Amino acid sequence: MSIKERPFEFLRKKDGSCFSEEIIRNWYIARAFVLHKLKDVGFKPTDSVHLHAIVIGDTPLMLSVVRQVALSAHYINHNEDNEDWSKRNRTVITVESEKEGIIEELCTEEYLCNLPRYCAYSVYGSEPINKDSYIDIELDIVKKWTGTTDNKYEYIFTEEDINQFLKTTADDEVFMIDTQMAILASKIYDLGEEIKNLPAEDIHCAKRYSMALDVYDSLLKKKTEALVKDKKWKDAYNAKEGLSNVFCADCFHTRSLEIEHCLEGEKKRTKKETRLLWEANNQVLSRSEHARWVVEKLIMGYRPMNRQERLTDESLFGDKKTNNRKSLKRKPDPTHIDLCSYADLRRINPDNMKYDSFLMLAIPKILTQIGKSQ
């Protein structure tokens, strides 16, 4: 049985004010439409291709589509370490707009917030800004899209297509979100010592998570409660943290599709073969999940630590370090220690890498549990 909820209403601006009803409505429409449009997109780790999303127009609805593509389009063949930035297989989002100040509008809290300040982008054919960015999203602003869609991984998004989608899709499939997978994903943080006590080494070795996975199995079988808890979610920080599980779970189908692409030939896969593929690809899956998480946090208003904040963090230890990091995440202008490349994360905060690795191993269990409940 699905659990339908409306979590977007709980998001707040940095000053505590509400977003308009139009913007919230656009977020729901964009999410349903983009997830439907990109449902068949997935790559193998060795694929030298990327998704190219072409968004026609700069109305509030179409800019919400840009936001949703940035939240959803993250793939395991992105390679932040390639010295040639043009071969990093980033998702490219082309926005057709003649509006003066379109980048500034995209930087508003309604749309991409802090993302354009850190990702690569170009305007009207200019040399890309932040071209060496580790982020797996790239923006390209054009006055008029004149290209073709000969590339099978080019997807055009128009308002006309959205209106047609709305005519053929039930309202509760658009304006309500089935939070089942998000709820099960959130249970990972209920594990406690089974994850916390694992040392930050052999991060991608599946065997080291066997005990935690057994405990997680038992959590999955417990009664599921709603994700949105009105009293708790009235706190803006808690709402963002809760909604993070929705954005994460929205990519589970893509992760599963990409594992299927890793299968050789047309033979029917066994459960063991599939499990081994999830384990063998844990590193690329975890890297992609971190890339997705970074984009989400930037869109939700977080920023990387500045130099002084990092110096302070490095001077603290134990509970003082932990408490300082927590306080920085709750500021009106929140910052997070993990907003960095995957390579830097291993140096700065390797202990947190195991959560991504565990989550990737847990996805097939979540998908199986959801299948049982339907």
Q: Would the pLDDT of 266 be above 60? A: no
118-136 tens-digit pLDDT = 999 999 999 999 999 999 9
Residue 70 CB contacts under 8 Å (≥ 6 apart), including other chains? 91, 93, 112, 115, 137, 295, 299
Average pLDDT over residues 139-152: 86
In a 13 Å sphere around the CA of 29, the CA atoms on its Cβ side amount to: 25
Report the alpha-carbon distance of residue 256 to residue 244 in Å, rounded: 19
Res 373: pLDDT: 63
**d(Cα 256, Cα 138) in Å, to the nearest integer?**
24
Q: What's the pLDDT score for residue 190?
A: 85
Closest to 42 measured CA to CA, from 281, 361, 316? 281
pTM over 0.95: yes
Give me the phi and psi of 20, to 5 degrees please: -70, 155
User: Which strand (E) or helix (H) includes residue 284?
Assistant: helix 282-299
Phi-psi region of 255 (alpha: psi -120 to 50; beta: other; left: phi over 0): alpha
How many Å separate Cα 37 from the centre of its chain? 17
Least confident among 35-44, 187-196, 322-331: 187-196
Evaluate if residue 374 carries a pLDDT over 60.
no
Model pLDDT, residue 263: 78
Tens-digit pLDDT profile for residues 312-350: 999 999 999 999 999 999 999 999 999 999 999 999 999
Domain chopping of the chain, boundaries: 4-169, 177-373
For residue 284 the two structure tokens come to 């690329």
Residue type, 177: I
What DSSP string runs through 52-77? EEEEE--SHHHHHHHHHHHHH---TT
